[in-house]
Amino acid sequence: MREDICTIPVSEVFEPKDGCPICRMRDTVETRMVEYIMGAAMMEPDVRMETNRKGFCEVHFRKMLGQKNRLSLALMLESRLIEIKEQVFDKKKLSFLTEEAGCFVCDKIEWGMERMLDTVCRLWVQEAEFRTLFDEQPFLCLPHYQRLVNAAGKLKKRDRAAFCEAAANVSGRYLEALKEDVSHYCKMYDYRNAGNNEDWGNSRDAVERTIQYLVARSVKDSR
């Protein structure tokens, strides 16, 4: 499998000012991987062997179901069932279900994300223009803020401290805004505000935005 499927130019991800850039990074690679597994991967024996052994998680099964080529998915499911029958029921190797548990797409995304997060840290240290792009992001969701801080562990101590402060500023200022919006949303249900439908401000979608901030997934992605 080509490694470039699992990675994308990091600077391009930070050019839009729309949501968490690391979520965009993950989503782009995820889309590539799902399209790949439903298309060209069908002709790669090593990939088929790995998917037969490992399978997929619920999230990526749902995304694969959303693709047009259901025959590809059916063929992979057929092979997966044959593998499970052979290992679990014929060989009585129940441990197969835990030893090989995982998701092919998740693993490839993780492989790419580790490398791209390292690149984010390196670009931040080396390029002033990228530092500006970084600071201008609307927010970093909480899980990806944590991942960036962990990735920064490879930087020199001085650079690591500065990078972590910059990441905390981007993520923290959004948290403050979210907190205000969620509090306002709750207050709108107070009996004293009954009938005051004009004063919701930015709070109408505060619940959805807060969930996205906390779990790195849009609510609509889980439906």
Pick left, alpha or beta for residue 22 (phi over 0 → left; psi -120 to 50 → alpha; otherwise beta): alpha
Q: Which of 101, 127, 153 represents a domain boundary (last residue)?
A: 127
Q: Which of 70, 97, 127 represents a domain boundary (last residue)?
A: 127
Mean pLDDT of 145-157: 97
Q: pLDDT value at position 5?
A: 66
- pLDDT tens digits, one per residue of 153-209: 999 999 999 999 999 999 999 999 999 999 999 988 877 766 666 688 889 899 999
Task: Examine residue 134 and state whether it is found in any structural domain, yes or no.
Answer: no
Length of the chain in residues, anyone?
223
The answer to pTM > 0.75 is yes
| SS3 state of residue 110 | helix
Task: Examine residue 132 and state whether it is found in any structural domain, yes or no.
Answer: no
Q: Which of 127, 152, 175 represents a domain boundary (last residue)?
A: 127
Looking at the structure of the chain, the number of domains it has is 2
Q: pLDDT value at position 118?
A: 96
| SS3 state of residue 171 | helix
Give me the domain span that covers residue 222: 139-223
Residue 121 or 191, more confident: 121
Looking at the structure, tell me whether residues 100 and 169 fall in a common domain.
no
- pLDDT tens digits, one per residue of 63-95: 999 998 889 899 999 999 999 999 999 999 888
| Helix 157-187 vs helix 206-215: crossing angle, to nearest 10 | 150
Looking at the structure, tell me whether residues 97 and 63 fall in a common domain.
yes
Contact 7, 29 (CB under 8 A): yes
- pLDDT tens digits, one per residue of 88-115: 999 998 888 877 778 999 999 999 999 9
